[in-house]
Structure 1
């Protein structure tokens, strides 16, 4: 009889399986087993929501004279004299340039000669009228003759009046051959040379007078009103100013054109960078870094941020209403308040409900 070498427990598989299963259940239900470990707090970069004037950033503006003129000849002609150049200071009434007046002088002379002829015809018609009136009173002239001479006098009067009107127009044209300064100022533009033919209405000289004003392009959400006091910071220092005019429509990108007063000493004809600080507290806005906002592609004016509550280490997702862009920051119109901490970096690795360790700068 052969010897059986199979282990004893191998001949009782059902019993062994039962014992192992019970041991596994006991291990699973062990009250001394430690609970699952929560995810460790992760460091995230945070920044506070800041309150600042929307205009507290640099805006591009164009300084120009409040009193200015673009001068042109009212009649065409050939330039015969130019007395000024760019930068020249002029007084009111000074001669700036002159075109050839010969055509206007010839026209005026012709009209004046025609006027003298028509005046002579009118004088002769009036003398006939006087003679005929005496004959009519004595019965030597008929009513038809009297009516005819009266019509002749009236026609001569009308012809002379038309010639006088033409003479006035010709004299005005002759006067337009000279370009004179309408006010005291400085020449800012010269676009003519001696011998050049210029057309009527073509701007040839620019003149700047008293006063300065500044054109700015600002966000349409900026609270401004006509007459509001402002403070400007320009290349020549700081100055107080006020709003002169607001454009009634928004430009591309939601911006608005604003005209404000500028210091008399600021240069004209060049673009400058200024600081516009509204003194109206209502113009203050909440600004957050743009990278803290998750934009909504379907609704460009809305987005989400991760805000860290004051008494919690777990960030919460907040819906915000967005306003104007200010460089690398964006205006937040609702959903946050000044001083709130928002997550800038590190949110990608967070899980729902995970605590964070806020840091203000990256090492």
Structure 2
């Protein structure tokens, strides 16, 4: 039997409310006594198997959890590139620079325009002051006084607009330098000296702290966010955790899963890992989940219909459940390896009813 992935029984039984409810409702149709002269009912049975001791193996890609695609905020010609892929960098370190001359000229132009408009504003304020005295003594008309006030307001608005332009030009001038946002390693570089780059176009990728592992797993593999795992790789065993489970199925019915990984795993590497959510309990057995009628009052307990050797009359047996392994569940107590359990049709059986077992599964 292929190795399967194990999951905590509490996450199965507490999180599987709909499954438990469906199984319990299906069992509500039981009768207390078998119908008179009823022929043996055909039922599908399965064999109780020993739990495997292995995990599931997948190929994954290691990535940095802290990573960034860096881009210049302004367009320009690259004048300097100071790092190569693989280089270690510190937060704030200069990585590359575009030509600052056009932006410096723009900044100088807005500053000069600002000085000119400041001079016009000062002259308008002096005229306003002179005309105010004349207006108070009746030497200037109301129209003249209103006109000079409007001139001052227009001059102030022009100065404010130019100051905003100057601030924007100064900010653009500062963006010619591309710096590292955190300590890390240069993963890739897409720029050369003399190259024209656009604003917002990624030119460097940086990787920082933390590692994560992307895997493609079968879509029906029961994984939950936060679940603890053991990762087995050629470098040894390591503890991990499920960070994210893809919401949609991809080609072939697979699903993307994101796991935490050790910080010393190299990024960009393709690794083959074996997932062990936990080791199975000693002596644990496996039965198909369909064969179990869950106990809603006692999560972790249930019942199965066991077919004794040489008998056609199943008996109801209480079992203690463990972890889920794919479509099967561990049974800790109540059964032994090789027992036959009713796989389909158990909720409709009544005590003492004879059955005809079919399709014994190994």
* TM-score of the pair, normalised by structure 2: 0.64
Q: Give CA deviations for 1:28-83 in whole Å, capped at 9, x if unaligned.
A: xxxxxxxxxxxxxxxxxxx9856459x92111221111111111112221111111
User: Residue 199 of structure 2: SS of its match in structure 1?
Assistant: coil
Counterpart of 2:179?
180
User: Residue 223 of structure 1: SS of its match in structure 2?
Assistant: coil
Distance 2:285 2:274 in 1: 16
Distance 2:58 2:286 in 1: 19
Distance 1:280 1:159 in 2: 75
Distance 1:131 1:235 in 2: 89
Query: Does structure 1 retain, via aligned residues, the 8 Å contact 2:285–2:336?
Result: no
Counterpart of 1:128?
127
Distance 1:68 1:202 in 2: 16
Query: Does structure 2 retain, via aligned residues, the 8 Å contact 1:52–1:287?
Result: no
Give how far 1:107 is off.
0.9
Counterpart of 2:138?
139
* TM-score of the pair, normalised by structure 1: 0.64
Distance 2:173 2:210 in 1: 33
After TM superposition, the structure 1 = structure 2 runs for residues 207-226 of structure 1, keeping only pairs within 5 Å, are 207-226=206-225
Distance 1:177 1:338 in 2: 73
Distance 1:103 1:229 in 2: 55
Distance 1:166 1:244 in 2: 46
- Compared CA separation, residues 118 and 338, structure 1 to 2 (3 A): farther
Give how far 1:142 is off.
1.5
Give how far 1:183 is off.
0.7
- Compared CA separation, residues 56 and 118, structure 1 to 2 (3 A): same
Query: Does structure 2 retain, via aligned residues, the 8 Å contact 1:60–1:273?
Result: yes
Distance 2:203 2:264 in 1: 26
After TM superposition, the structure 1 = structure 2 runs for residues 7-26 of structure 1, keeping only pairs within 5 Å, are none
Give how far 1:332 is off.
4.9
Matched, 1:119 2:118: yes
Distance 2:189 2:94 in 1: 14
Give how far 1:250 is off.
2.2
Aligned Cα root-mean-square deviation (Å): 3.5
Unaligned runs of 5+ residues in structure 1 are: 1-46, 289-308, 313-329, 343-352, 354-359
- Compared CA separation, residues 76 and 93, structure 1 to 2 (3 A): same
After TM superposition, the structure 1 = structure 2 runs for residues 1-363 of structure 1, keeping only pairs within 5 Å, are 49=49, 51-52=51-52, 56-279=55-278, 311=309, 332=327, 339=337
Unaligned runs of 5+ residues in structure 2 are: 1-46, 289-306, 311-324, 330-334, 341-355, 357-361
Distance 1:239 1:176 in 2: 42
Counterpart of 1:15?
none
Tell which deviates more after alignment, 250-259 or 164-173: 250-259
Give how far 1:194 is off.
1.3
User: Residue 158 of structure 1: SS of its match in structure 2?
Assistant: helix
